Structure 1
Amino acid sequence: MSVIETVSDQARDVFRPDQVWPFLMPKKPEINVSQQVILYVEGVNLSFDGFKALNNLNLYVNDGELRCLIGANGAGKTTMMDVITGKTQPDSGTVYFGSNYNLLDRSEAEIAELGIGRKFQKPTVFEAHSVFDNLELSLKSNKGVIPTLFARLSPTEIGRIEEVLEIISLTDQRYMLAGALSHGQKQWLEIGMLLMAQPRLLLVDEPVAGMTPQETERTAELLTSLAGEHTVIVVEHDMEFVRSIARTVTVLHQGSVLAEGTMDQVQNNRDVIEVYLGEEA
């Protein structure tokens, strides 16, 4: 190794983010969940060209809960997630993260910084990079020029990547290009990318669409394992999958909550049978 390379290596060690940059990092927000509720959606209304996408929507999700949302197309599921993540502003209502953070006053980036991660239906991974690189790129770190210039993974960061690889069952694929993964594995990788930022709340949209039965079963295990340390809201149309993971199911219809309870309670609810589950009941 040349002298220049040695000096460069030493400089990277000195300027490692975990050694000198933590004081530049934003403080981890303290979410007030003293009432056991982490998400409050109250009286939310939103119209598009006269169409009522959300109609006095009220939803409360407990900290550490795994909640499933179901409803026909146009019921308001995606629109609700758009409002929670700051992509869309409602006409009226309130949305709070814990009892102390008003999400409607914050941008999409600020909401992500608070600890809310969203996974869309179609996986969006960096296909030309390895699985490991995808997770590294998702680290919650200072992206400034100087920290990036001297960036080197710390033992803590490497350990976190290894931990997430284990959680998403991709340890053996760590050096495989993401583009070579199966559809299900890409979905798991994207969940892993969200986990790298250590979110408190995960919004997951139709995670098992297009998966094999084996991948669907593994996804159920994955999402179930995340509940507790994280709060997980899953939007899904596959009723068998919902039944396999759900403790509480919320049914949306025409922008409002139609019913809420266990899967058995929901499936036996007369209103739900009539407007959504009629053919299956």
Structure 2
Amino acid sequence: MMSRTLWSEAINHPKEQLPDVRGSHEFINDLTRRDQVFSFLKPPFNPKVDVKNNMLLYVEGVSVSFDGFKAINDLNLYIKEGELRCVIGPNGAGKTTMMDIITGKTKPDQGEVWLGQQLNLLKMDEAQIANAGIGRKFQKPTVFEALTVWENLELAMAGDKGTWHLFRAVLSSDQKCDIMQVLELIGLDTHYKMQAGKLSHGQKQWLEIGMLLMQKPRLLLVDEPVAGMTHQEMDRTAELLLSLAGSHSIMVVEHDMDFVRSIASTVTVLHQGHVLAEGKMKDIQDDPRVREVYLGQ
């Protein structure tokens, strides 16, 4: 259940009083169901994202070169609806470039990238791709350190981001409930008044994931989420990502193999911009090619 501290203290939040949600049957059900993500976090239906074959992301025949160096070389990658996929590989394998291509930061020399069967990501810019339902979390947390945890989530909320709108905005009852539920999910419900700059490294990572969730993405790209974390924070991060899988598709790029083992269903190994191996974690660990190029054996 959501902490009493949040409920009692948030009533005095400067925006306005919290809504009376005691009569909301759906809201109470959300709080008491620990086996699934809150219903409001599920991405909104978008008829243009056609996943009738259960495949959300298509990366097909993609290549890109920088000054003669082929960073991505005929890459083929497919992510299913609701899947949690781990991507590993040595430095320079093309992991960051791959995410840059998916999010529109880099355009490939050749190949195709689709969200569902109808949205061609290569014909969209970064903002359009984000609005289509792809959220990206970088390795270093990019939170607004001078703002409170609550204000960071409020600022990230899907909708009009115009400066004038933000200054004039008054949160609706549903929006307040949305923020409180994300606070509960990321474990920062008792820290909502704290400045983000005073959070621990792990808490900042969770806050940034929460900021992405406020935008209700269909696909989350998460880059090295546990770098610099304590073991306890790593365990909490694993629980968080696993709780989101199913309602979201998640691609996690990570070097910490213990963490990958704790969350991975399917693992993709990149090497020299190409898929070297793909499968269950045990099969990846036993693959002699992976041992040679990634594990150093």
Q: TM-score, normalised by structure 1?
A: 0.88
Number of positions where the alignment pairs a residue of Structure 1 with one of Structure 2: 254
- Which residue number corresponds to residue 175 of structure 2? 157
- Which residue number corresponds to residue 250 of structure 2? 232
Q: Does 1:59 align with 2:77?
A: yes
1:101-116 equivalent positions in 2, closer than 5 A? 101-116=119-134
AA partner of residue 249 (structure 2): T
Find 1:254's aligned residue among 242, 254, 272. 272
Please identify the structure whose Cα radius of gyration is greater: 1
Find 1:34's aligned residue among 52, 60, 83. 52
Unaligned runs of 5+ in 2: 1-14, 16-43
Report percent identity of matched pairs. Answer: 64
Whole-Å separation in 2 of the counterparts to 1:132 and 1:151 = 14
The alpha-carbon deviation at position 241 of structure 1 amounts to 0.3
Find 1:128's aligned residue among 142, 146, 168. 146
Point out the more displaced range, 41-50 or 137-146.
137-146
- Which residue number corresponds to residue 239 of structure 2? 221
SS of residue matched to 1:125:
coil
- Which residue number corresponds to residue 89 of structure 1? 107
1:194-253 deviations in whole A, cap 9, x for unaligned? 000000000000000000010000000001111011100000000000000000000000
Find 2:117's aligned residue among 85, 92, 99. 99
SS of residue matched to 1:68:
strand
SS of residue matched to 1:128:
coil
SS of residue matched to 1:224:
helix
The alpha-carbon deviation at position 142 of structure 1 amounts to 1.8
TM-aligned CA distance change 1:169 to 1:145, over 3 Å: closer
Q: Does 1:174 align with 2:192?
A: yes
SS of residue matched to 2:247:
coil
Unaligned runs of 5+ in 1: 1-8, 10-26
SS of residue matched to 2:261:
helix
SS of residue matched to 2:85:
strand
- Which residue number corresponds to residue 184 of structure 1? 202
AA partner of residue 64 (structure 2): L
Whole-Å separation in 2 of the counterparts to 1:119 and 1:265 = 28
